Amino acid sequence: MKRRMLLLIVFTVFSYAAMAQTFTVATYNMRNDNNKEDAANGNGWKQRLPVIASMIRFHGFDIFGTQECMHHQLENLKDSLPGFAYVGIGRDDGKQAGEYSAIFYNTKKFQLLENGDFWMSEVTDRPNKGWDAVLPRICTWGKFKDIKSGFTFYLFNLHMDHVGVKARAESAKLVMDKVRKMAGDIPAILTGDFNVDQRSESYTLINTSGLLKDAYETTDIRYAENGTFNAFNPNSKTDSRIDHIFLTKQFNVEKYGILTDTYRGPVVTGKDAEKVNAADFPKEVSLNKYVARVPSDHFPVMIVVSLK
């Protein structure tokens, strides 16, 4: 009898430990590689890629939605993140053309069970523009299983239109309908660049739906000293959050952060970096004149979640 009780206690403890595991979710608009304009201003993809990859690894992203990346950018990022894979298709042809709303995940932590894509439009199964949108917009989804605990969840990732007001509102309704029908009672997460802040109609449609809630509002710990769009200007300031992570009620959000990490890049003058006087610092300190830069024109949003 005592042995059975002991086994029951051990089983209960290990079951609780497994279900109490946390993981890190993020959403990140990484800016499309436009080849010329950004590079001319010192913000080219080749310069930003190693910074983005290092930031993802340092902050310990386990699964994250991306926006705006072209196929070669996703392949570059995958090569820079050992142990990660991604799902998604190009919005222009359903293959590799145009921007993706891809989902990256740590293959040592998660097993991909199912995945797919749909266009945010009246016609969801092929490339097209919906309502008053000026561009095709796509949502990529995946059903994942935590390898250690067996916990299963859905993640939907999207990039809403930047012009079409009706398109954004209708896209919000469409995505919520998909979450209800596909996930059912299974926990679900919605990440993306919604191109609207916390005061907009489409944001409110989702946040007050009773289905999904903004992690910003439910977190135990919040680190958000800025909004999420920066226009490649590290000195900009806004309180508008246009990149969001929404979750169903099964999740507890332990931490929420808008990561305003910067790095130093060369001055775009065509000259060598200038030396800067180190003043009263030790003589071993050598300072060069560089400028503060951000890895993308959006800041990533990161959360740490566990099951309630």
Burial of 294 (0-12, 13-18, 19+ CB in 10 A): buried
Evaluate whether 87 touches 140 at the Cβ level (below 8 Å): yes
| Residue scoring higher pLDDT (11 or 245) | 245
Confidence band, pLDDT 50/70/90 cuts, at residue 269: low
What's the Rg (C-alpha) of the chain? 21
Q: What is the DSSP string of 113-156?
A: EEEEEEESSSS-SSS---TT-SS--EEEEEEEEETTT--EEEEE
Q: What is the DSSP string of 195-215?
A: SS-TTSHHHHHHHTSSS-EEH
In order of 45, 127, 142, 241, 300, the CA distances from 205 in angstroms are: 35, 25, 23, 16, 23
Distance between CA atoms of 142 and 150, rounded to whole angstroms? Answer: 16
pLDDT exceeds 80 at position 92: yes
What pLDDT shows up at residue 287?
76
**161: which residues sit within 8 A by CB, 6+ positions away?**
120, 132, 133, 134, 135, 137, 167, 168, 171, 195
Confidence band, pLDDT 50/70/90 cuts, at residue 6: low
Chain-wide mean pLDDT for the chain? 92
**What percent of the chain shows pLDDT beyond 70?**
89
What pTM, to 2 d.p., does this model score?
0.91
Q: Which range (139-148, 181-190, 224-233, 259-268) has the least confidence?
A: 259-268
Distance between CA atoms of 289 and 212, rounded to whole angstroms? Answer: 46
Residue 96, helix vs strand vs coil: coil
What pLDDT shows up at residue 87?
98
Residue 273, helix vs strand vs coil: coil
Burial of 221 (0-12, 13-18, 19+ CB in 10 A): exposed
What pLDDT shows up at residue 18?
46
Evaluate whether 89 touches 118 at the Cβ level (below 8 Å): no
Q: Which range (57-66, 150-159, 183-192, 276-285) has the least confidence?
A: 276-285
- The pLDDT tens digits of the residues spanning 14-61 come to 444 444 589 999 999 999 998 788 999 999 999 999 999 999 999 999
Evaluate whether 112 touches 142 at the Cβ level (below 8 Å): yes
Which domains, from first to last, does the chain contain?
19-307 (3.60.10.10)
pLDDT exceeds 60 at position 93: yes
pLDDT exceeds 80 at position 127: yes
**What percent of the chain shows pLDDT beyond 90?**
83
pLDDT exceeds 80 at position 278: no
Mean pLDDT over 147-162 rounds to: 97
Evaluate whether 140 touches 157 at the Cβ level (below 8 Å): yes
Confidence band, pLDDT 50/70/90 cuts, at residue 284: confident
In order of 18, 142, 193, 247, the CA distances from 307 in angstroms are: 10, 19, 25, 11
pLDDT exceeds 60 at position 300: yes
- The pLDDT tens digits of the residues spanning 194-240 come to 999 999 999 999 999 999 999 999 999 999 999 999 999 999 999 99
Which range, 14-18, 36-40, 279-283, 295-299, is most confident? 295-299
